[in-house]
Chain A
Amino acid sequence: MKKMSKKKCFINGASFTIKNCGIQLEDLITTTVGKKKNELSLAVAVNNELVQKSEWKSKVIKEGDVIEIVHPFFGG
């Protein structure tokens, strides 16, 4: 039987292991942020492009993808 290999993507600068077949962006956000993901005014970019909330479910994250999950913070 062929062994399932594990591959990596990058979330907010840290590496994250994903299955060979990839993972849905929404699942990845839930894993990273938790249940409050809908309350936090999150915005997400994959490979330097905005992914709108309506596309989180359909967007599949593949090996080497660079994901940024951001929200409002203190600022001047």
Chain B
Amino acid sequence: MSKKKDELIIDGKKFASRLIMGTSLYPNLEVLNKSLEASDTEIITVSMRRFNKEGEKFFLKGIKNKYTFLPNTAGCFTKKEALLTAELSRESLKTEWIKLELISENEMLLPDPIELFATCEELVKKKFKIFAYCSDDPILCKRLEELGCAAVMPLISPIGSGLGIRNEHNLEIIRSICKGVIIVDAGIGTPSHACKVMELGFDGVLLNSSVARSFDPIQMATAMNLAVKSGRLSYLSGAIEKTKKAVRSTPFRGKISNF
């Protein structure tokens, strides 16, 4: 009997990889491209920024066109800014996908749930496929899902902090009440964080800093790739139940007599 392919399906599109990679903060374009290759990613995030020569180099020569682009609204504080950025990205990249980031302040870069929700309502009407970057509040995640977001993307700790999972129980609740695509975004520091997220049953992981700012980004990208795959396989395999006492693995029967 052939096993059903385990694919990530977003907005009707199928992906073999469950790791979405950011493209920022890499030491140079060569390391960026090799890291993306090592990660096996199929979806990469980009920003929309004012025209300059560096950007020209990035887009014309830097990035291979085999990836699916997920433009973001990074740096936006208001609904007005985010709506225009989304319109500009749709025009530029001919995609309805938008990673909606609406932050509320500059120190922790935490998402503003009120502004985010209001912006999502507008973008849904404009037929955008929203990837909503949000806080790890289960009810907010559920409401965003019900609103029609293509993917809901709770953080596990602040952007670029590398702190990993801060509230595992919230994540468990999110996974249990949201039936759609939930991708963890922001806060991953090490492959073990990514693996744990996948073991909890999330659909994918989006990361950037943990690879780009590591000492060896290409090797770290390989590690993240394996971690996400490993976590997913673990989730699908069904882990054993935890018990308070030991459960013998080697059979006692047949052992030589005690003496």
Contact = CB atoms under 8 A, between A and B. Distances in A.
Nearest to A29: B51
A41 B55 CA distance: 11
B207 to A, nearest CB: 8
B56 A36 contact: yes
Contacts of A45: 84, 87-88
B59 A40 contact: yes
Interface string A45-76: 10011101100000000000000111111111
B87 A50 contact: yes
A74 B45 CA distance: 8
Given A70-B50, A71-B92, A40 B22 contact: no
Contact of B60 (A36, A73, A76): A36
B241 interface: no
B55 A75 contact: no
B24 A71 contact: no
A69 B49 CA distance: 8
Interface residues of B, number: 34
Interface residues of A, number: 26
Nearest to B62: A74
Given A43-B88, A48-B80, A48-B84, A72 B56 contact: no
Contacts of A40: 51, 56, 59-60
Given A43-B48, A48-B84, A73 B91 contact: no
Contacts of A50: 84, 87-88, 91
A76 B74 contact: yes
B97 to A, nearest CB: 13
Contact of B91 (A12, A33, A36, A43): A43
A71 B59 CA distance: 8
